[in-house]
A = this chain, B = another copy of it.
């Protein structure tokens, strides 16, 4: 489930507060979800809670971390070292969550050889050997949209099986390769759309099929 990392973060926050035990209500509140949903999610992992008591924070945290594969560090390569790629390279949130930026790759000769966040930028030609050498399974695409599909193809053929795509383009990959897409401008456009509807419907107060759509926070 895609919510496991959220729970993990909430649990880590509880650990930092020195809390050693929590109920599903507490944890659900911290994670911003429904308690029943939380319990059902956790029940898929196994019965790690005790009825009448709640969950042992540290123990549950470890179990989720294990389920997420966070007992090991995952080496990741970032392709595209523009503004966004650089920001990602320097992002501190990764290292504490089992993600290690093992390599940076770019096609711009100006950037190749420079050092970003302690890692030297390698040329695209080295991609395959880098992936093989580090045993990299996960890659990040932070290139312009036009380059994304080509980069994805190269990544897949080098052996990468999971891709996080920040480029504004739809990339298609063979079956068995996981792709997640984060599109910064689309997120803002969605918010602009809400604002648009808000200002358009404020006078009329019309109904329309748009009224309830679940994205407006509670």
Q: Chain A: residues with CB nearer than 8 A to chain B? A: 1-2, 4-6, 8-10, 30-32, 44, 67-70, 74, 76, 82-84, 86-88, 90-91, 93-94, 97-99, 137-138, 140, 161-164, 168, 170, 172-173, 175-180, 182-199, 209-210, 213, 215-218
**In-complex Cβ contact of A177 among B1, B10, B74, B217 (8 A):** B217
* Copy count, this protein chain: 2
Shortest beta-carbon distance from A101 to chain B in Å? 10
**In-complex Cβ contact of A184 among B88, B192, B198 (8 A):** B88
- Provide a sorted-by-A list of 13 A–B residue pairs whose CB atoms are within 8 angstroms: A4-B189, A5-B185, A68-B193, A69-B196, A74-B192, A83-B87, A91-B185, A99-B185, A99-B192, A176-B216, A177-B217, A178-B217, A180-B187
Assembled-state Cα–Cα distance A106/B157 (Å): 43
The SS class assigned to the A binding surface is mixed
Please indicate the chain B residues that have their CB under 8 angstroms from the CB of A176 in the complex: 216
Please indicate the chain B residues that have their CB under 8 angstroms from the CB of A8 in the complex: 189
